[in-house]
């Protein structure tokens, strides 16, 4: 399942966020891409919104993501109601990866091996995140 618009200005229209890690991993294997998990509190977390606006909503990141990443939003909203099965799946991922704060970004190889974890906001816009992901691809 893909999410359309999240956040105040919405992501670039051609950037799609999945909600299923198994689906993303299957596609990542076919396309030889990393899977980027974005653990977010989309409607209450100030730093998550800042990351959206300063990184994910930028054309530079969108262009990079299309060629290199499968994006998965793991959302824990306060106001927005998610389907029960998505809440259960997201809670399972939160436990599996021992998420202690939002936002948390985790890059996975297609087989599920974590190669980069960022807890909290990362400064430097798309370039900083892309640099970390490029380093993670070499692991």
Please report which confidence band the pLDDT of residue 8 belongs to, taking 50, 70 and 90 as the band edges.
very low
**What was the pLDDT predicted at 10?**
52
pLDDT at position 118 is 97
**Nearest partner of 103 among 83, 80, 130, 123, judged by Cα:** 123
Superfamily of domain 2-137 in the CATH hierarchy? Glutaredoxin (3.40.30.10)
Instruction: Retrieve residue 75's tokens.
Output: 């959302």
Q: Is the pLDDT of residue 17 over 80?
A: yes
Angle of CA points 35, 67, 24, to nearest 5°? 30
Closest to 63 in 3D by CA, of 113, 115, 130: 130
- pLDDT tens digits, residue range 49-73? 999 999 999 999 999 999 999 999 9
Give the start-to-end residue ranges of the domains of the chain.
2-137
Show the tokens assigned to 96. 């599996």
Average pLDDT, the chain: 91
């Amino acid at each position: 399942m893909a999410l359309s618009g999240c956040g105040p200005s919405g992501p670039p229209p051609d950037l799609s966020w999945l909600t299923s890690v198994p689906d993303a991993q299957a596609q990542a294997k076919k396309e030889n891409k990393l899977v980027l998990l974005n653990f977010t509190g989309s409607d209450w977390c100030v730093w998550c919104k800042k990351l959206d606006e300063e990184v994910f909503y930028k054309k530079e990141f969108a262009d990079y993501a299309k060629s290199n990443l499968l994006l998965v939003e793991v959302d824990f909203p306060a106001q927005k109601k998610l389907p029960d099965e998505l809440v259960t799946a997201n809670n399972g991922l939160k436990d599996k990866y021992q998420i202690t704060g939002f936002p948390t970004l985790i890059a996975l190889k297609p087989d599920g091996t974590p190669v980069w974890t960022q807890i909290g906001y990362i400064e430097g816009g798309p370039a900083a995140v892309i640099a970390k992901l490029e380093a993670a691809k070499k692991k």
